[in-house]
């Protein structure tokens, strides 16, 4: 897939030797050499087909009648940027690609953990199909299948090996540390099979250090994008990890992490990555070029900053023979920058083709025809009723809240576990007494206690669990999403049961979405019909619609910067501490599933 | 082969977590961290089985009753050294291994180009068998099959792909640049098949620069051990090559190359390599530890020097997840050094086992039982007569000197090509008139013109070619070797035909060897019965015997430092310019085979 074939290689040799003309020759530019760390003045580059034929004075002689000669006097050439760790954030590949092209990201390595819960092995294959034959290289990691719910096990794990064998799968996606340490018998075989194929293991070590981090390293995990302080980054580097400095929509850690400059350590294993950029930020700010620019602003030498988004990440994935540098035999992925400190490409060459020039996109993404594998991923058999969201203290409900069958008198307190929001993403377990009315446990909005539910809708029979959440701020209505992280669930937080049911039923109707409703009316929604997590809207529309959902959520009282992210992560297996899935509450510290009631 | 299995990995995780005891814990040492470039003070390391479990303060807690605790106060730990490019120089693996162990080379990557001409695919497999289960890791590259002779094509090239698939084959061996450029149709398919398996391509670019070097890079070649100046090294680095700084018995380039320190380039792709160390040097001086020590003496920072012999080379071969650093999950290959500037290990741990301590070897190499595949590699059907070394000017000889069938009168001059020694290794074509006597062209020892012959003895029918050589210095007798580089030949230089025949016949008898004879007597010899190129003597004996051959050759008048090396390289496909094989003289500039006589 990535290597030149024998014929291309023979052609390249002929162009390098000067016995055949190049397709493109770039003259008079300075070139960032990521291998030596130099900036080479007045250094011609010749291109044949998708590939770089030669770099250096002699490259100029490959310019013939048929050659496009580009005068880049005063400009600086850098290799195309590589994002080594990201997630498709509501966006499909074809919608995202133009924004990558114009910013100079010529290779993207995407997680597929979202598509596996939604549609299993076949879903991941459909996503891989959507990546093919784009003007830039879109690659992926195989889903590691970490989840707090057992529903994921129903999907075909045995086919993960087949995914790992594919050329466009360049690693195993992030395998959260506590899952690996808690269940080595589950994960070690998967890690081994990836390593045997020479594919690196992406990590996620947030919160691990010392013994735990060492144990995680022995498992073979070789990167992490989670450190938030320079000290954490250094600990990871010392253990042999590639450390991805994250700067994207989920977190912006680069400024804090850039203090690593003072530590005098080698930067060869530092990598810049986004971990995802959500539509509004993508439209208004840009993508990885913004991160490289910020690294320079944070004091990194520009050449180091560029190495961190090119060669270093290519080496991590063992792709440095093909991408990551301007050298003979590598992909012709080249940015023409106004100068070394300004990461705003005036021209972007990707796979030997000019895809962006002077503000204008010159290549179009290939549109993918999605099939029912992705378009029919919400398989909830029937609509829900508001009573499905009742919590019966004596277990008399349809829902499987695992309370002991004690009959309690009115007014007697029941000790329950409540998900408490500690920040917009981090939660903890709060134990408190609640007082059932008519045998049911209700919300207590004065105390900011609302209901939260997770409804399995992809693989199982529509099992659901209803719990309580404190600190989400919701005072009325409901907010729901089918983008519930790491599970096959729809997640919903509501001030009342009617709106919770409405929200979930509307998602079922849309075959995926994120939305806000109040008093029986949908206030704002974004349909996510592809895998239940991706939109087919154009990027600006998508950004706008998502904003309207966020605003609507804030109007219900949710105080967080991004209420959708706060909601989606409630089922996540990576962010501490108490999470929810269709089976109950889950304490990430030990992976145990817990009932609502504390006996 | 190299990775831990699932069980070992699970054990490692338990030791890292402190819930199981380590086998070895090293306390109180400073540790060279090749990933960050730091030296970490007082940094415990724990080992379980063959692997490192943890590095850092918490590693100490894995010491239990069953643990061997090593106090390394005041010492410095460095990763085991890796020689990324070498040749077995008359030595078999089991003889060489003790010298590697005591110097701290825990991984060796050997070329197999010598065994392929001798015994084909099966010969390489036999060599790979001899590498197995040694106390250190001996790995290999697959033979690229470059030769000036067509006889090599008779060996099974189709099976090269099978070699490349083997775990212990970590790359494709050096493919000389001119061969790749002259015959892309032959070599590109081989290069492609190695790259498709993710195995790097070792290079040899001596003499190539500018266009030619760029063309060589486009072929996918990713390392070179041939630069002799800092400028050449920098050109290679800029093109994305890993540059191996060579310091061994063939050449000592490190001092000159160390000027690269002044260029301010990144050292991440610099590697220290021996390219082979011959027995006397190995016995008297040592191996790669000597090179690292010299790099420090040449002004490289000690940590950089260690990175150049550990992490950098591991990264080049994509083995950095297993070797090249002291980190969890890596092989427990650790040197205990007196201090960071003294590369003289007091203790060497290889694969988790103490193999050398306080001057004493604590592990024995595994002895390999060689078979007839290697032991019967000289397949010359009959003994040679002195008349086989006659050169008939009118082609009336048995030997296939391709002269035109003109009959020349006595005293008439004939223009012939003569190999002229320009240095002890480099040759050029000299054209001169010679004057046949009795229809035969004779040596002219006053003008230092002797005879040189190449006799195919491995694969074909014993074809031979006799030519002339000037500047070899031989005044009497003959010197012969079955270690003729890159061919299936025995090579012999002689002052008279009788001694030439004797020398070759003795090699036939020995099934391989290098020897000197005079007036019908063998003056000195080393039998090389294994593949016709390796000895089974112990190293000190071998060193001594080789020295006696060299001295005997010098006594015949050969002025070179190493007359054996000068002889063996006469058939080589890599060192310019005019070479000899059983088919004739070969001009390496264009790869053409030439007759003795000019037109």
Over residues A267-316, the pLDDT tens digits come to 999 999 999 999 999 999 999 999 999 999 999 999 999 999 999 999 99
- A165 CB-contact burial (10 Å; exposed 0-12 / middle 13-18 / buried 19+): exposed
Residues B187/B175, Cβ–Cβ less than 8 Å = yes
Nearest Cα neighbor of A172 from A330, A323, A325, A316 is A316
Surface of A (271-330) touching B: CB under 8 A: 315, 318, 320-321, 325, 327-330
Q: Do A214 and B269 touch (CB under 8 A)?
A: no
Nearest Cα neighbor of A2 from A353, A318, A270, A362 is A318
Contacting residues of B for A3, CB less than 8 Å apart:
192, 195-196, 220
The alpha-carbon radius of gyration of chain A (Å, integer) is 25
Axis-axis angle for helices B6-17, A210-218 (nearest 10):
170
User: Residue A226 has what pLDDT?
Assistant: 97
Residues A485/A533, Cβ–Cβ less than 8 Å = no
User: Residue B2 has what pLDDT?
Assistant: 77
B352 phi-psi bin (left φ>0, alpha ψ -120 to 50, beta other): left
Q: Each residue of B66-85: b (16+ CB within 10 Å) or e?
A: ebeebebeebbbbbbbbbbb
Angstrom distance (rounded) from CA A430 to CA A453? 17
Angstrom distance (rounded) from CA B105 to CA B356? 11
DSSP assignment of B180-196: HHH-HHHHHHHHHHHHH
Torsion angle of C-alpha atoms A430, A435, A441, A445, degrees rounded to 10: -70
Angstrom distance (rounded) from CA A477 to CA A155? 34
User: Residue B20 has what pLDDT?
Assistant: 97
Surface of B (166-205) touching A: CB under 8 A: 181, 184-185, 188-189, 191-192, 195-196, 198, 200
Residues B524/B554, Cβ–Cβ less than 8 Å = no
Angle at A289 between CA A284 and CA A291, to 5 degrees: 90
Angstrom distance (rounded) from CA B344 to CA B337? 6
DSSP assignment of A53-104: EEESGGGGGG--TT-EEEE-TT-EEEEPEEEEEE---S--HHHHHHHHHHHT
A54: closest CA of chain B, how far (Å): 6
DSSP assignment of A110-134: E--TTHHHHHHHHHHHHHHHHHTT-
Check CB contact of A55 with chain B, cutoff 8 Å.
Answer: yes
- Residues β-bridged to residue A597: A416
pLDDT, one tens digit per residue, over B182-236 is 999 999 999 999 999 999 999 999 999 999 999 999 999 999 999 999 999 999 9
- Residues β-bridged to residue A350: A353
Residues A464/A580, Cβ–Cβ less than 8 Å = no
Angle at B465 between CA B456 and CA B478, to 5 degrees: 85
- Strand locations in A177-287, DSSP E? 201-204, 223-224, 242-246, 270-273
Surface of B (327-356) touching A: CB under 8 A: 327-330
Angstrom distance (rounded) from CA A449 to CA A451? 7
Nearest to A210 among B12, B58, B189 (CB): B58
Q: Do B195 and A321 touch (CB under 8 A)?
A: yes
User: Residue A3 has what pLDDT?
Assistant: 87
Cis peptide before A308, with omega less than 30 degrees from 0?
no
Which regions of chain B are under pLDDT 50? 396-408
Residues B238/B209, Cβ–Cβ less than 8 Å = no
Q: Position of tokens 């089976």?
A: A583
Give chain A's count of helices (H) and strands (E): 17, 32
Angstrom distance (rounded) from CA A448 to CA A4? 60
Residue count (chain A)? 599
Residues B564/B481, Cβ–Cβ less than 8 Å = yes
Nearest to A10 among B33, B188, B263 (CB): B188
pLDDT, one tens digit per residue, over B128-152 is 999 999 999 999 999 998 999 887 7
Angstrom distance (rounded) from CA A51 to CA A25? 12
Q: Can you give the pTM of this predicted structure?
A: 0.96
Contacting residues of A for B3, CB less than 8 Å apart:
192, 195-196, 220
Nearest Cα neighbor of A494 from A386, A596, A420 is A386
Angstrom distance (rounded) from CA A580 to CA A331? 45
Contacting residues of A for B61, CB less than 8 Å apart:
211
Residue B555, classed as helix, strand or coil, is helix
Angle at B57 between CA B51 and CA B61, to 5 degrees: 70
Contacting residues of A for B196, CB less than 8 Å apart:
3
Nearest Cα neighbor of B1 from B251, B226, B307, B323 is B323
User: Residue A395 has what pLDDT?
Assistant: 60
B420: closest CA of chain A, how far (Å): 30
Angle at B435 between CA B431 and CA B440, to 5 degrees: 105
B183: closest CA of chain A, how far (Å): 10
Angstrom distance (rounded) from CA A411 to CA B75? 70
Angstrom distance (rounded) from CA A84 to CA A292? 13
Q: Do A38 and B192 touch (CB under 8 A)?
A: no
Residue of A314, A329, A352 to mutate when probing chain B, most B C-beta within 10 A: A329
Predicted confidence pLDDT, tens digits, chain A (599 residues) = 578 999 999 999 999 999 999 999 999 999 999 999 999 999 999 999 999 999 999 999 999 999 999 999 999 999 999 999 999 999 999 999 999 999 999 999 999 999 999 999 999 999 999 999 999 999 999 999 899 988 777 666 678 889 999 999 999 999 999 999 999 999 999 999 999 999 999 999 999 999 999 999 999 999 999 999 999 999 999 999 999 999 999 999 999 999 999 999 999 999 999 999 999 999 999 999 999 999 999 999 999 999 999 999 999 999 999 999 999 999 999 999 999 999 999 999 999 999 999 999 999 999 999 999 999 999 999 999 999 999 998 764 444 443 333 444 455 789 999 999 999 999 999 999 998 988 899 999 999 999 999 999 988 778 999 999 999 999 999 999 999 999 999 999 999 999 999 999 999 999 999 999 999 999 999 999 999 999 999 999 999 999 999 999 999 999 999 999 999 999 999 999 999 999 999 999 999 999 999 97
Q: For residue A501, what are the contacts with CB-CB under 8 A and spacing of at least 6?
A: A383, A384, A385, A386, A388, A389
Q: For residue B113, what are the contacts with CB-CB under 8 A and spacing of at least 6?
A: B87, B143, B144, B145, B146, B173, B174, B486
Nearest to B240 among A211, A240, A330 (CB): A330
Angstrom distance (rounded) from CA B208 to CA B388? 38
User: Residue A403 has what pLDDT?
Assistant: 39
Surface of B (2-21) touching A: CB under 8 A: 3, 5-6, 9-10, 12-18
Residue B331: DSSP 8-state: B
User: Residue B408 has what pLDDT?
Assistant: 47
């Amino acid at each position: 897939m990535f290597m030149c074939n024998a014929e291309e290689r023979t052609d390249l040799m002929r162009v390098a030797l000067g016995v055949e003309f190049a397709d493109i020759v770039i003259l008079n530019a300075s070139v960032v050499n990521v291998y030596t760390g130099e900036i080479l003045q007045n250094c011609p580059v010749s291109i044949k087909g998708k590939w770089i034929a030669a770099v250096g004075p002699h490259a100029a002689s490959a310019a013939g009648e048929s050659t496009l000669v580009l005068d880049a006097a005063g400009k600086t050439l850098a290799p195309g940027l590589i994002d080594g760790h990201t997630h498709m954030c509501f966006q499909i590949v074809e919608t995202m690609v133009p924004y990558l092209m114009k910013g100079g990201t010529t290779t993207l390595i995407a997680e597929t953990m979202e598509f596996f819960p939604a549609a299993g092995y076949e879903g991941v294959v459909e996503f891989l199909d959507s990546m093919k034959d784009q003007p830039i290289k879109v690659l992926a990691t195989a889903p590691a299948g970490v989840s707090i719910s057992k529903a994921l096990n129903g999907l075909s794990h045995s086919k993960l090996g087949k995914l790992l064998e594919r050329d466009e799968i360049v690693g195993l996606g992030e395998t959260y540390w506590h899952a690996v340490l808690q269940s080595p018998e589950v994960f070690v075989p998967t890690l081994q099979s990836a390593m045997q194929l020479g594919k690196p293991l992406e990590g996620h070590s947030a919160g691990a250090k010392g013994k735990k981090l060492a144990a995680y390293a022995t498992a073979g995990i070789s990167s992490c994008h989670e450190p938030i302080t320079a000290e954490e980054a250094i600990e990871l580097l010392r253990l042999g990890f590639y450390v991805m400095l994250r700067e994207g929509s989920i977190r912006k850690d680069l400024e804090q992490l850039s203090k690593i400059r003072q530590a005098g350590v080698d930067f060869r294993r530092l990598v810049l990555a986004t971990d995802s950029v959500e539509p509004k930020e993508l439209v208004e700010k840009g993508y990885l070029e913004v991160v490289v620019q910020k690294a320079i602003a944070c004091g990194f030498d520009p050449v180091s900053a560029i190495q961190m988004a090119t060669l270093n990440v290519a080496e991590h994935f063992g792709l440095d023979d093909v991408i990551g540098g301007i050298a003979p035999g590598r992909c012709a992925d080249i940015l023409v920058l106004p100068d070394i400190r300004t990461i705003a490409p005036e021209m972007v060459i990707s796979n030997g083709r000019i895809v962006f020039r002077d503000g204008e996109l010159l290549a179009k993404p290939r549109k993918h025809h999605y099939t029912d594998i992705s378009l029919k991923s919400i398989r909830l058999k029937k609509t829900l009723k508001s009573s499905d969201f009742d919590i019966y203290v004596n277990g008399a409900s349809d829902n499987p809240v695992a309370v002991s069958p004690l009959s309690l008198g009115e007014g007697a307190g029941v000790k329950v576990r409540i998900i408490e929001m500690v920040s917009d993403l981090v939660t903890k377990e709060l134990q408190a007494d609640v007082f059932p009315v008519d045998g049911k446990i209700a919300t207590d909005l004065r105390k900011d206690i609302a209901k939260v539910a997770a409804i399995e809708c992809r693989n199982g029979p529509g099992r659901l669990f209803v719990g309580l959440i404190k600190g989400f701020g919701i005072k009325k209505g409901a907010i729901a999403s089918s983008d519930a992280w790491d599970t096959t669930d729809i997640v919903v937080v509501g001030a009342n049961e009617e709106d919770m049911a409405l929200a979930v039923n509307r998602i079922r109707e849309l075959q995926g979405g994120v939305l806000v409703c109040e008093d029986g009316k949908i206030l704002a929604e974004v349909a996510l019909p592809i895998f239940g997590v991706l939109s087919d809207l154009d990027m600006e529309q998508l950004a706008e619609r998502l904003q309207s959902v966020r605003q609507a959520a804030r109007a219900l009282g949710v105080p967080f910067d991004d209420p959708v992210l706060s909601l989606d992560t409630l089922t996540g297996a990576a962010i501490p501490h108490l999470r929810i899935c269709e089976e109950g509450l889950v304490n990430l510290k030990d992976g145990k599933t817990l009932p609502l009631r504390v006996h």
